[in-house]
Amino acid sequence: MSKRRVVLFSHGQESGPWGTKITALAQDARDAGIEADSIDYRGMPDPGERAAKLVERMRDSSGDFLLVGSSMGGYVAVSAAQQQPAAGLFLMAPALAVPGWPKLQDTVSAPAFIVHGWQDDIVPIQWSIDFARANHARLHLLDAGHSLTEALDEIRALFRAFLSAGS
């Protein structure tokens, strides 16, 4: 019998656990028969503390975890996947190399999809390119800014592809 699949969302620094993108993607996961939940990191500015909370959640329950993160949540998802096995990563404009944050390892063992906007003026697109290259990850560059909300339909299609890829 296979383990249950669970999508765990990690929101960005300035957003909350059930913003526009997460709500839409969670519905896509549920439509695919996959459990979905979003961790609430509000009031936790430290990315290391956020990652520890996600790792604890993964260790406290069983399942194949698909980690989804946006901006700081992308950093949190990668950090957690480097500490606890994950079945896959779906990263949106991930803030992977912010000065002053703990440095991440260059690679992860989980397959990764990355979505980044060409017009992102907050997180350098190069960070996603470098991570994708080091991890042989799928990288999707969209005509969008940091929030990626203007490309939500494209992101949802990519997320459904990620879910069906068996990650």
Domain positions in the chain:
13-164
Written as six digits, the tokens of 15 are: 């957003």
Residue 87 one-letter amino acid? A
Q: 83 — phi, psi (to 5°)?
A: -110, -25
Fold classification of 13-164 is Rossmann fold (3.40.50)
The structure's pTM equals 0.95
Q: What is the pLDDT of residue 16?
A: 87
From CA 21, how far away is CA 112, in angstroms rounded?
Answer: 18
Residue 85 one-letter amino acid? P
Q: Determine if residue 33 is left, alpha or beta; phi over 0 gives left, psi from -120 to 50 gives alpha, anything else beta.
A: left
Q: What is the pLDDT of residue 20?
A: 92
Q: What is the pLDDT of residue 1?
A: 44
pLDDT tens digits for the chain (167 residues)?
457 899 999 999 988 899 999 999 999 999 999 999 999 999 999 999 999 999 999 999 888 999 999 999 999 999 999 999 999 999 999 999 999 999 999 999 999 999 999 999 999 999 999 999 999 999 999 999 999 999 999 999 999 999 998 64
From CA 14, how far away is CA 58, in angstroms rounded?
Answer: 23
> Who contacts 50 (Cβ-Cβ below 8 Å, separation ≥6)?
10, 39, 41, 44, 72, 73, 76
pLDDT in tens, 89-133: 999 999 999 999 999 999 999 999 999 999 999 999 999 999 999
